[in-house]
Amino acid sequence: MNFTTIDYAFFIGYILLVVVFGVWISKKKGGNQTSKDYFLAGKSLPWWIIGGSLIASNISAEQFIGMSGDGFRFGLAIATYEFMAAATLLVVAWLMIPVFLKKNIYTMPQFVEQRFDSNVKTGLAIFWLLIIVFVNITSVLYLGALTLQTTLGVNLYIGVIGLAIYSATFSIFGGLKTVVWTDLIQVFFLIAGGLATTYFALDAYSGGAGFTTGLSQLYNDVGDRFNMVLFKGELMYTNDNGQSVDAWEKLPGLSVLFGGMWIANIYYWGTNQYIIQRALAAKSLKDARNGIAFAAAMKLILPLIVVIPGIVAYAMKVNLDKGDQVYSFVLNEFIGTGFKGICFAAVIAAVGSSISSMVNSASTIFTLDLYKEFSKQENSEKKLVRVGKITAAVCLLIGVIIAPQFTALGSAFSFIQKYTGYFSPGILVIILFGMFWKRTSAKAALWVVLLSLPLSFGIDVAFSESVLPFMNKMGVSFIILSIVAIVISMMQNKGDDEKAIHFEKGLFETNGIFKIASMLIVGVLIAIYTLMW
């Protein structure tokens, strides 16, 4: 990318702003912290911080780079991950968050222990740690470094190390409160810079006629790339190996609306520690719900930022070695002097906020669910915070070591979805059955933990993507594990389990703002899928 002095000034200014602010918040909030302060921000977060931090934590290089690459491959249909997430967030806020807050938990494994036992908790804690550290942190570091390499020519290894140091400044020392406050800065740059990138791309595509004309022209030129539901044989794309592949294998028809997509989304938004931790830190149930609804509303505009640039590149018949190079191409070709630094800062904002959230949550799970559980010595609040900081640093170090090995990836976004999908059906069965079926037993949950990974892997190996797309494989795994949970629970329990959750009257009642926001969001989603069918 041809950065001018102004571009470098904007970009470096942004980096310094976040680092200085993060260090200041860490020092201000970091003294005499309890574990509640460090891991849950003292349970004091208002709705607007929760909503902004949720989006900043969620949107990362995997969306900017991975989803742009998949938008280049098979169009707007990949935005289903964003649109369905908006609907899922409403369900999570309505039915799951009240239960978690009632249980007064810090982590998802703590919920599992309260509902089942410590064996199930330990198994799932290990699952979550493996996903966060070896899939999420490493892949986001790699994608961020890849963008630095293709955009600024920064060596991949140096990029990985630099991003890790950048994220460490506000993820290790101050805890969750520092993370969410820096998220506010980063989500502003993320949204503003991302929208600016899309505007310039569409303006350039229309020959300078503006955003609306560019979008209309794009739709007229490549209308097949705007279908939200793809059926078998409808759309073929070329993968990074030059092979022609049916897009149905990635987004299998109606399954994106009524099947495996729900498993992926409810797992991510309802049980994923680095996401749900924001809601657990809310100062009230009302703040938690309204913050989640705020995030759901922002989800509706994100496809403009992370998918449309990829479709523009496709329409221009850009020749790239890998789909994950699309976003860097758009930044380089379409963004004018002075704006490149701002738009590129949006990508780094996404990377930094996501890594800091993942690192903080991984340290939370390790410290409170594993170290505290198995430590044979007395642990003061000060020592738990110190262990959390050390764990955060170790997680980043592991990411730095492994991330450069990801160069063999095809679609990074697909990689993340696939390997997370090995774990998500089993975790979701345990959480949902434990929450809503009183007869579910601890033994049933433990068997689901033990069978989850080998079952998902076995189904993946046994059936090719052309026969059974991975999204549908998640559905099959979820059904089989659900049957296992039902059969074992019915054999063990003749009635309600002794640790069953009982809901008091009014627990699921929602406030007026949440109701109105939900109706508007659902209305927009219905309109989108009706028009883009």
Domains by residue range for the chain, with CATH: 5-18+36-413 (1.20.1730.10)
pLDDT over 60 at 112, yes or no: yes
Give me the pLDDT at residue 105, please: 86
For tokens 């740059």, name the residue.
189
Query: Which among 257-266, 326-335, 469-478 has the top mean pLDDT?
Result: 469-478
Both structure tokens of 241: 């190996």
Task: Name the DSSP letter for residue 309.
Answer: H
Q: What is the pLDDT of residues 235-254, one digit of tens each?
A: 887 776 677 888 888 888 88
Give me the pLDDT at residue 344, please: 78
Cβ atoms of residues 84 and 263 within 8 Å: no
**Least confident span in 26-35, 280-289, 310-319:** 26-35
Q: What is the pLDDT of residues 123-149, one digit of tens each?
A: 888 888 988 888 888 888 888 888 788
Q: Please give the Cα distance from 280 to 50 (Å, whole number).
A: 10
Cβ atoms of residues 351 and 93 within 8 Å: no
More confident residue, 3 or 79: 79
The 8 Å CB, 24+ separation contacts for 515-518 are 517/290, 517/293, 517/294, 517/296, 517/297, 518/90, 518/94, 518/293
Confidence of residue 414 (pLDDT cuts 50, 70, 90): low
- Average of per-residue pLDDT values in the chain: 86
Both structure tokens of 526: 């219905």
Q: What is the pLDDT of residues 171-208, one digit of tens each?
A: 777 777 777 888 788 788 878 888 888 998 999 899 88
Angle between helix 211-221 and 176-205 (nearest 10): 70
Cβ atoms of residues 88 and 293 within 8 Å: no
pLDDT over 60 at 381, yes or no: yes
Give me the pLDDT at residue 411, please: 56
Confidence of residue 114 (pLDDT cuts 50, 70, 90): very high
Give me the pLDDT at residue 412, please: 58
Give me the pLDDT at residue 520, please: 96
Confidence of residue 32 (pLDDT cuts 50, 70, 90): low
Both structure tokens of 111: 């919920």
pLDDT over 90 at 515, yes or no: yes
Confidence of residue 220 (pLDDT cuts 50, 70, 90): very high
Mean pLDDT on 476-500: 95
pLDDT over 60 at 528, yes or no: yes
In degrees, to the nearest 5, what angle opens at C-alpha 245 toward C-alphas 452 and 471?
Answer: 25
Give me the pLDDT at residue 8, please: 86
Confidence of residue 408 (pLDDT cuts 50, 70, 90): low
Give me the pLDDT at residue 234, please: 86
Instruction: Using alpha carbons, list the distances in angstroms from residue 175 to 55, 434, 469.
Output: 18, 30, 39
Give me the percent of the chain exceeding a pLDDT of 90.
34
Task: Name the DSSP letter for residue 507.
Answer: T
Burial of 506 (0-12, 13-18, 19+ CB in 10 A): exposed
Cβ atoms of residues 128 and 426 within 8 Å: no
**Least confident span in 154-168, 258-272, 274-288, 314-328:** 314-328
328: closest CA among 89, 150, 118?
Answer: 150
Confidence of residue 496 (pLDDT cuts 50, 70, 90): very high
pLDDT over 90 at 377, yes or no: no
Instruction: Using alpha carbons, list the distances in angstroms from residue 465 to 76, 175, 295.
Output: 21, 41, 32
60: closest CA among 143, 150, 134, 175?
Answer: 143
Cβ atoms of residues 440 and 497 within 8 Å: yes
Q: What three-state secondary structure class fits 236?
A: strand
Q: Radius of gyration over alpha carbons of the chain, in Å?
A: 22
Q: What is the pLDDT of residues 155-172, one digit of tens each?
A: 889 999 999 988 887 777
Give me the pLDDT at residue 233, please: 85
Task: Name the DSSP letter for residue 4.
Answer: -
Amino acid occupying residue 140 = V
Confidence of residue 448 (pLDDT cuts 50, 70, 90): very high
Mean pLDDT on 367-384: 82
Burial of 394 (0-12, 13-18, 19+ CB in 10 A): middle
Q: Please give the Cα distance from 483 to 20 (Å, whole number).
A: 52
Give me the pLDDT at residue 202, please: 92
Give me the pLDDT at residue 477, please: 95
Tell me the whole-structure pTM to 2 decimals.
0.88
Angle between helix 260-271 and 80-91 (nearest 10): 60
